[in-house]
Chains A and B, each alone.
Chain A
């Protein structure tokens, strides 16, 4: 079993829809949680960064972390065709173990 599980999709939604992306994890030591967006043949771009449990909002994006359930989510409101990409969740223990453990990525297509 992988430490971080993510539904690979593909996920296809109409423009303007609310998108929900999720990851589950098994290592309770993870404290830092990130969401990256990766366009085809590009490097991952950091979208959201949260520490421990709670919600964080940035424009159309909201990240939620529920450490008790070992579950993190990314919501995209008013989705746009330009949001079409692969979304990767990533997490780390932090301090002396800073390496990121990634989910497999969810491929999202927003149809105009």
Chain B
């Protein structure tokens, strides 16, 4: 079974621009979560989507948004980019079967904001 895929893998943007990242979960997984990883703050939860609905949101500004499509694929968008948004953005999918909470991560999208 194919793992979580994320595109693009690398992205360079300038301050003030916006960016959209894409995530395809493991086949059959319906929950998709997004995380930001930086050297200073580590891995931090952004939001979770299930059945096209945002179920939880982390402590990030409204510039960070996301959505999920009917095929469970998800996108996240960051508007008005700031230098501090430079990070590895990770997507994780979960089967949500039997109350399971395992989350499987993709390789991430490395965003650099200049």
Are the CB atoms of A102 and B56 closer together than 8 Å?
Answer: no
Decide: A98 near B43, CB < 8 A? Known: A32-B101, A36-B105, A49-B102: no
One of A32, A44, A88, A100 near B45 (C-beta < 8 A): A100
Decide: A46 near B56, CB < 8 A? Known: A99-B45, A102-B42, A105-B42: no
Are the CB atoms of A44 and B31 closer together than 8 Å?
Answer: no
Q: How many chain-A residues does the 8 Å CB contact rule pick out? A: 26
The reply on A34 being an interface residue by CB < 8 A is yes
The reply on A45 being an interface residue by CB < 8 A is yes
A80 to B104, CA, bound (A): 24
One of A41, A90, A97, A104 near B56 (C-beta < 8 A): A97
One of A43, A51, A101, A103 near B106 (C-beta < 8 A): A43
A residues with a Cβ closer than 8 A to B are 32, 34, 36, 41-46, 49, 51, 88, 90, 92, 94-105
